[in-house]
Amino acid sequence: MYETEYTSQAAEDLKWFSKREQKIILDGIDDNLRYEPTVETRNRKPMRPNDVAEWELRLGDFRVLYDVDEIVRVVEIQRVGEKRRDRFFFRGREEEI
């Protein structure tokens, strides 16, 4: 089992969402990243090289960008946002990844 940690930026990202959306995101993180977070699935995939994170979890329109430390078994959530078409939005603002 993996522990989940949130960067300060990810925690701020989460606060931007409504309580209902936060629940969907947090439940999705718990359901999908607790075991085998580096196994590629339909909703979990490695990202192209970037400065933010190595992995992406898709929860409907929501996106969770994360890194995994296999040695200490920790999933570090880097950013939480939305994806509209091929663009990422964090706290309502578009950002390049």
> What pLDDT does residue 39 have?
97
> What pLDDT does residue 95 have?
93
CA 76, distance to chain mean position in Å, is 9
> What pLDDT does residue 97 have?
86
> What pLDDT does residue 36 have?
96
- The CATH code of domain 3-92 reads 3.30.2310.20
Contacts for 22-25 with beta carbons within 8 Å, 24 or more apart?
A: 24/59, 24/60, 24/62, 25/59, 25/62, 25/64, 25/80
**Which residues of the chain carry a pLDDT beneath 50?**
none
> pTM higher than 0.85, yes or no?
yes
